[in-house]
Structure 1
């Protein structure tokens, strides 16, 4: 099977870049539909007023859930308004909705993350949830965004929890990439991983260990530093390229399984992925040194390391098996592990990871 590597057509990161959004729209079309949650829209409205001055656009107020009903509503609006460019602004779910809308309407897509909480911005993938927030399926898209535009000044002013969540998501990248490569499983685009993709995944992890705390300090102070921009690039670009061109495995499958527990719905994607990474390491029987390093990293940033950290105070066997069974379903990426994983194995790994995170 051929090796494949995919990426957005262009990635731009820098302070003040949102003020140039209109220039980028003009290069792709005449009218845009802007998909953004009202709170995200208001948070950057002054910058948007300058960045989109003279640009014809309509704001499609995002409902907050990347579900079929919302995507279909915005597709209809895009067609009614005769928009020829789709802009997604905000967090992961708004961005996934924009990517899905662009695919269904065959329009170019500009992605503008206002937080660095996931690696969703760069990918040709949209995660579809139910209207109540449970994971439903992955929507594989024919191409990556035409532009990912990241204003580090905007992200520096967002709550630090978002940045930390993005680091939790990025944490899984190298471990899942290695698992997929060892299992000789295809990546998200259907090809085999490249050496470039693995190198990016490894750089992703190395940068987290090097710059995480310096970036957190900058975000706490709402200022842009080299370390902060390094972590923004890591959370969005390195993690995005690494997972998409190498693949996902147990960590994200466990995340998706955890979404069946209502109490986890208040926690961010990357927060659940961080615990999922510990579960994957237990499944692999990873070296204790690696588990301790990951555990220490998570604890130092306040990322979840046990079920209680995700709001799960009690987990009986019936609910645990619901999580484990979902994580091993045909829609999931658990079968990218280099050995057979059964729901009972996942349940055992969750129990063990929970004790490790709570006591080590």
Structure 2
């Protein structure tokens, strides 16, 4: 069986690590195109100025317009050529990071997340939107980022909700990788969808990726609550450092080289419900993970463990928690249809998938989550 594993060339994490950004720019040359929202630049301006002066490098600010669109990518690529930038930096949240990936096209790319809300920073893929913000396509590049740099001080001073959302995204990593491993399904580390005929066959996940995915889940259970408390207090602690690594590195390597399954597909289905639009990716993935566990008839003890974790850090456990107070049969059918389209990751589950089974899993997961919250309220009384 063909297997594959992919990762960034370098991952570095620490307090005030942004002060060393210039060192990594120097690896490639003397200047870098900085793709970041102006507000994110403002948050870390002192550190950017310090590292530019210390390492004698130039940061070319791009006035990023906030959307990872083809038009914006072309504009920034032109700017990078005009200014003869040696590398590209994506600093901030998902849109800036994805835009930087598209601009660099797999060459000399430094990713600097300012929040730990998803596991996307380490991956070699991006989501492209229209100029108006509607989903358009996925993009895959020849390699993962050259450097992923995490300043834990910056993460600690971001709103805690971002960190908790990242834990929700990371929560699915082990369960999806486990399902993919059992079904011998392909993973993103191999060949993405749509590769040309005659290419090498798709690849499955490695034991290393599954082990990282399992460590991701174990670390969430061990340090999640303490990391949330530390972030609430804007303090960097060992627990917070461990969860930042979990949200970004362990989950990132785990999902891309271990595989996605039902949880992310159900998440994508849930996005058709307007009520979910005000909730973060990881918040919806947390509930979708519970739905996946119901779909695969996971042991009660395992579902209870996931529910306890979600409740302890403030992640959603039922539909109402992601803005869906009521849902019709037609709406559920649309969610299931969207989750079950042929190219979706739900087909990596180690058994045949039907829309009816997905609808049932969502309904039962919602009921289990609501009952769990009621039991917690009764216990408090």
Normalising by the residue count of structure 2, what TM-score does the alignment of the two structures yield? 0.89
Q: CA RMSD in A?
A: 1.7
Counterpart Cα distance in 2 of 1:266 and 1:14: 31
Match of residue 127 from structure 1 = 127
Match of residue 272 from structure 1 = 284
Match of residue 27 from structure 2 = 27
Q: How much has 1:198 moved relative to structure 2?
A: 0.9
Q: Does 1:306 align with 2:318?
A: yes
Cα–Cα, structure 1 residues 334 and 73, in superposed 2: closer, same or farther, change >3 Å?
Answer: farther
Secondary structure of the corresponding residue to residue 299 of structure 1: helix
Counterpart Cα distance in 2 of 1:272 and 1:357: 13
Cα–Cα, structure 1 residues 131 and 256, in superposed 2: closer, same or farther, change >3 Å?
Answer: farther
Q: How much has 1:131 moved relative to structure 2?
A: 4.9
Does the aligned pair in 2 maintain the 1:250–1:337 contact within 8 Å? yes
Deviation digits for residues 238-275 of structure 1 (CA, Å, limit 9, x no counterpart): 11111111101111111122222233222111111111
Q: Does 1:97 align with 2:99?
A: yes
Cα–Cα, structure 1 residues 77 and 352, in superposed 2: closer, same or farther, change >3 Å?
Answer: farther
Counterpart Cα distance in 2 of 1:134 and 1:301: 31
Match of residue 241 from structure 1 = 253
Does the aligned pair in 2 maintain the 1:133–1:265 contact within 8 Å? no
Larger Rg, first or second structure (1 or 2): 2
Equivalent runs, 1:25-104 vs 2, <5 Å: 25-53=25-53, 54-103=56-105
Match of residue 295 from structure 2 = 283
Cα–Cα, structure 1 residues 38 and 343, in superposed 2: closer, same or farther, change >3 Å?
Answer: farther
Cα–Cα, structure 1 residues 134 and 187, in superposed 2: closer, same or farther, change >3 Å?
Answer: same
5+ residue gaps, structure 1: none
Does the aligned pair in 2 maintain the 1:35–1:62 contact within 8 Å? yes
Counterpart Cα distance in 1 of 2:80 and 2:255: 30
Cα–Cα, structure 1 residues 209 and 124, in superposed 2: closer, same or farther, change >3 Å?
Answer: same
Secondary structure of the corresponding residue to residue 206 of structure 1: helix
Match of residue 366 from structure 2 = 354
Q: How much has 1:130 moved relative to structure 2?
A: 4.8
Cα–Cα, structure 1 residues 136 and 327, in superposed 2: closer, same or farther, change >3 Å?
Answer: farther
Counterpart Cα distance in 1 of 2:71 and 2:342: 24
5+ residue gaps, structure 2: 191-202, 373-381
Deviation digits for residues 167-226 of structure 1 (CA, Å, limit 9, x no counterpart): 101100000000000000111122221111111111110000000111111111111111
Counterpart Cα distance in 1 of 2:292 and 2:75: 37
Match of residue 341 from structure 2 = 329
Larger CA deviation: 172-181 vs 188-197: 188-197
Counterpart Cα distance in 1 of 2:70 and 2:352: 32
The size of the alignment, in residue pairs, is 358
Cα–Cα, structure 1 residues 315 and 222, in superposed 2: closer, same or farther, change >3 Å?
Answer: same
Counterpart Cα distance in 1 of 2:362 and 2:129: 23
Cα–Cα, structure 1 residues 358 and 146, in superposed 2: closer, same or farther, change >3 Å?
Answer: same
Match of residue 159 from structure 1 = 159
Does the aligned pair in 2 maintain the 1:135–1:256 contact within 8 Å? no
Cα–Cα, structure 1 residues 159 and 328, in superposed 2: closer, same or farther, change >3 Å?
Answer: same
Larger CA deviation: 89-98 vs 58-67: 58-67
Query: Quick one: which of 195, 211, 230 aligns to 1:199?
Result: 211
Q: How much has 1:134 moved relative to structure 2?
A: 5.2
Does the aligned pair in 2 maintain the 1:334–1:341 contact within 8 Å? yes
Match of residue 178 from structure 1 = 178
Counterpart Cα distance in 2 of 1:323 and 1:294: 23
Normalising by the residue count of structure 1, what TM-score does the alignment of the two structures yield? 0.94
Q: How much has 1:348 moved relative to structure 2?
A: 2.0
Secondary structure of the corresponding residue to residue 139 of structure 1: strand
Secondary structure of the corresponding residue to residue 52 of structure 1: helix
Counterpart Cα distance in 2 of 1:206 and 1:49: 39
Q: Does 1:16 align with 2:16?
A: yes
